[in-house]
Structure 1
């Protein structure tokens, strides 16, 4: 009996010690939780941390240099141009006087200043031909064609040549008895026509040069867009018996729609602001003066920088308006062919 009593007392003592340790651990956990809650209350969750601040600041550090260049060489000159358009500044004198909207009134009331926009019609027609031709060649050369790399180089080569050099080359190409007349003579067609001597033939010739000049760039854009279309779609179309025309209509055309929209916008804006080729080849003579050539002459030949600035602002607004209308008519929706 004494042995059993001592055994029972030992068991009770062990249970008491286990219960004491359990209560101590629970108290320790409670104290740790309280201290954690106190520390959480001490540091607000919204306080910025150094790592988070660095993540927010790093992109702006990379954007600082391009944004500075953009503001300095783009937005600041545009702001100055708009300011000059309300003055009579001649571009030389340090003095200039505010004239209000007189320059804009002169632009819209003088018929000769706005007649130059008719010349842009030739370049608009040329841009349509250029886009169609570039899309045609890009579609053909996107498939397996013999010597296709050679033809790609031939089409893109004019885009690598300096525009001034192109202007001088075609100036001799279209002169009387020049290369063009010689080529026509090989086919039995002899003519003494002055290709740059009349407004219609001169503008048609200059528009043709612009087609050759910018065809390669549009060709490369279309070719890259076509090659980005998944090849599985062409294989599935061939298994279904679709020909080249159906592949173009239902796969290529929808797949390159964003690039096609961008090309149309660039072509229209380029047609309205044509300058390089007509200025080098004719200088705006024989009815080939474009709006930009006229603006340059107003500023540097007639010393009417205020009027020229107003003309440049009008051209900028017209291009923005045309771009906005195109984007509204043909929205750039996401294309999903898969």
Structure 2
């Protein structure tokens, strides 16, 4: 009996020593982050590298052949690519300023002490950002239906003829912009609200004592101190818009006449509709370069956060 207890004790000591050896102060962090690191390598790093090599290849079924820069050369002679690029930047230039302006106005209003039931309004404005996009898009498709939609029904009371929201190039683009603004304004409002809450109230009190009104306080205190928030929201909104896919895919399928065809939607069609994965990969890497360039220009124009 004593011998068995001794053997068991020796086994426990060996296991404890082994555990101590594995979980040293130096090795413990690597052991804990190891599984996550492996998943990142498999599901992020490998696809990125694989798609880079794929962009220099032509895929026919299961066969791949190296074609060099042929996919990139084809890309810069593709009129639909230029059309999708133009559509994306038109939406970006129009939608992002409108959305951020509305987000700032709503954030300033909800930050005011005059507003009651702030929690209710914050949740209400943020709700579209967490609403299932497919469900929301179906609702908008019903609302914007040219024959039976509620929007055209209300417009008829004002003597306005029925608008073909989703079947004409101009109004289809307007519809996409409206849905995007509805969805993401509340999200950016929360970010602006967090920035407003971090501004010390003493600054406003001191400005009031010096005779500065609310408008002057807004432009001389609020706007300068929200500079990092502006940079963050502008850059993130730009990146999100350059990757725009869901809204035009569900609402208009890129139509009519490619009026709402975006870069990512065109990428999707080339890869998963025509199975031209080499060309789709080339589009993806050009999009990455465009996004990086636009973000860098914005950072330079707005100014460095550290300043």
Q: TM > 0.5 between the two?
A: yes
The answer to whether the Cα contact below 8 Å between 2:83 and 2:261 also exists between their aligned partners in 1 is: no
Paired with 1:326 and 1:65, the residues of 2 have a C-alpha distance of 36
CA 1:154–1:189: 2 relative to 1, 3 Å: farther
| Structure 2 counterpart of 1:185 | 156
Query: C-alpha deviations, 1:94-137, integer Å up to 9, x for none?
Result: 32111110000000012222211111112431111001110111
For residue 34 of structure 1, what is the aligned residue in structure 2?
A: none
User: What is the CA deviation profile of residues 282-314 of structure 1, one whole-angstrom value per residue up to 9, with x for unaligned ones?
Assistant: 111202111111111111111211101111111
Distance of 1:123 and 1:324 partners within structure 2? 16
Please name the residue that 2:106 is paired with.
Answer: 137
Match of 1:105 in 2: 73
Asked if 1:201 corresponds to 2:171, the answer is yes
| Shift, 1:139, TM fit | 1.4
Aligned length: 282
Q: Could you tell me whether the CA contact under 8 Å between 2:103 and 2:188 is conserved in 1?
A: yes
CA RMSD of aligned residues (A): 2.1
Q: Work out the CA distance in 1 between the residues paired with 2:246 and 2:37.
A: 28
How far apart are 1:244 and its partner, in Å?
A: 1.9
| Kept after mapping to 1: 8 A contact 2:129/2:184 | yes
1-structure distance, mates of 2:203, 2:34: 43
CA contact (8 A) 2:156 2:162 kept: no
Displacement after TM superposition at 1:206 (Å): 0.9
Q: Which residue of 2 aligns with 1:312?
A: 284
In structure 2, relative to structure 1, the CA distance for the partners of 1:245 and 1:82 (3 Å cut) is: same
Among 85, 89, 92, the alignment partner of 2:55 is 85
| Cα distance between partner residues in 1 of 2:115 and 2:221 | 23
SS in 2 for 1:144: coil
In the TM superposition, what is the alpha-carbon distance from 1:66 to its structure 2 partner? Answer: 3.6
Partner of 1:118: 86
| Cα distance between partner residues in 2 of 1:124 and 1:271 | 10
User: 2-side partners of 1:124 and 1:304: how far apart?
Assistant: 30
SS at match of 1:262: helix
Shift of the 277–69 alpha-carbon distance from structure 1 to 2, 3 Å rule, reads: same
- The Cα of 1:242 is off from its aligned counterpart by 2.1
- 1:61 is displaced (CA, Å) by 4.2
Distance 1:242 1:149 in 2: 30
Q: Structure 1 residues 292 and 333, CA, compared in 2 at 3 Å: closer, same or farther?
A: closer
- Quote the Cα distance in structure 1 between the aligned partners of 2:255 and 2:219: 43
Q: Specify every segment of 5 or more residues in structure 1 that has no aligned partner in the other structure, as ranges.
A: 1-49
Moved more, 233-242 or 291-300: 233-242
2: CA distance, partners of 1:60 / 1:255: 39
Partner of 1:323: 295
How far apart, CA to CA, are the structure 1 residues paired with 2:243 and 2:294? 13
In the superposition, relative to structure 1, how do residues 333 and 292 fare at CA in structure 2: closer, same or farther (>3 Å)? closer
